[in-house]
């Protein structure tokens, strides 16, 4: 998977634009609520656009990504933010150390049996009142990808999730649901999306 994301990184930066008003609204609400709770980890930051957006909104944030090429883009564009090459399945996060964790269109390539463990680990890293924000593709089953972003050859699997699946994962990890936003597909070639936000209880 790392090799595939390295291969598409340059085209991804050139082709992927503004996430649109509904996604920006979710990010802005997240930023408003996590400011002051603690540092935030963008776990799967890609070229760092969302990381930088949240930084500009006053969030103390850093980013990690599996792809060294994506991190090269992030470091070049946003030198004031800490970006590291790391997998969300292997990164070391201390319990109760974070005000927020972002899995923004980046966790759908994880094997289906791995995602609950990642959610639980990131939930455990939250301070009381901290938020986990997940955005991903909505649906059932999985989609095999062999070419994308300018017809670049890739090899990855996109896992699709219904909102109730993600809500159950966050609840099992001890979090309380804050928001469940459904996004319609904006083009015939795209899939609908879902944004889930859940909070570590304060008490």
Predicted TM-score of the model (pTM): 0.93
- Structure confidence at residue 200 (pLDDT): 98
The pLDDT tens digits for 70-115 are: 999 999 999 999 999 999 999 999 999 999 999 999 999 999 999 9
Q: What class has domain 2-199?
A: alpha beta
The answer to whether 67 touches 5, Cβ cutoff 8 Å, is yes
Q: What letter does residue 203 receive in the DSSP assignment?
A: -
So what's the pLDDT on residue 134?
98
Alpha-helix runs per DSSP H in the chain: 2-15, 21-34, 49-56, 68-77, 115-124, 163-172
Per residue in 27-82, pLDDT tens? 999 999 999 999 999 999 999 999 999 999 999 999 999 999 999 999 999 999 99
The answer to whether residue 12 scores a pLDDT higher than 70 is no
Give the residue-averaged pLDDT of 110-136: 97
Q: What is the pLDDT of residue 156?
A: 74
CB burial of residue 203 (10 Å; 0-12, 13-18, 19+) = exposed
pLDDT of res. 154: 65
Percentage with pLDDT > 70 across the chain: 86
């Amino acid at each position: 998977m790392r090799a595939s994301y390295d291969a598409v990184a340059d085209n991804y930066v050139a082709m992927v634009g503004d996430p649109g008003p509904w996604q920006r609204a979710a990010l802005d609400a997240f930023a408003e609520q996590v400011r002051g709770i603690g540092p935030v980890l963008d776990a799967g930051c890609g070229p760092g656009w969302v990381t930088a957006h949240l930084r500009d909104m006053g969030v103390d944030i850093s980013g990690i990504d599996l792809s060294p090429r994506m991190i090269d883009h992030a470091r070049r564009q946003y030198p004031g933010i800490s970006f590291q090459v790391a997998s969300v399945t292997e990164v070391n996060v201390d319990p109760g150390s974070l005000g927020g964790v972002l899995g923004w269109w980046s966790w759908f390539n994880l094997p289906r049996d791995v995602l609950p463990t990642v959610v639980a680990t990131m939930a455990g890293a939250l301070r009381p009142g901290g938020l986990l924000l997940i955005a991903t593709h909505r649906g059932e089953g999985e989609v095999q990808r062999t070419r994308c972003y300018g017809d670049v050859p890739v090899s990855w699997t996109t896992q699709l999730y219904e909102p109730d699946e993600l809500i159950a994962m966050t609840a099992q990890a001890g979090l309380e649901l804050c928001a469940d936003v459904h996004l319609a597909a904006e083009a015939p070639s795209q899939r609908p999306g879902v944004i889930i936000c859940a909070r570590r209880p304060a008490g």
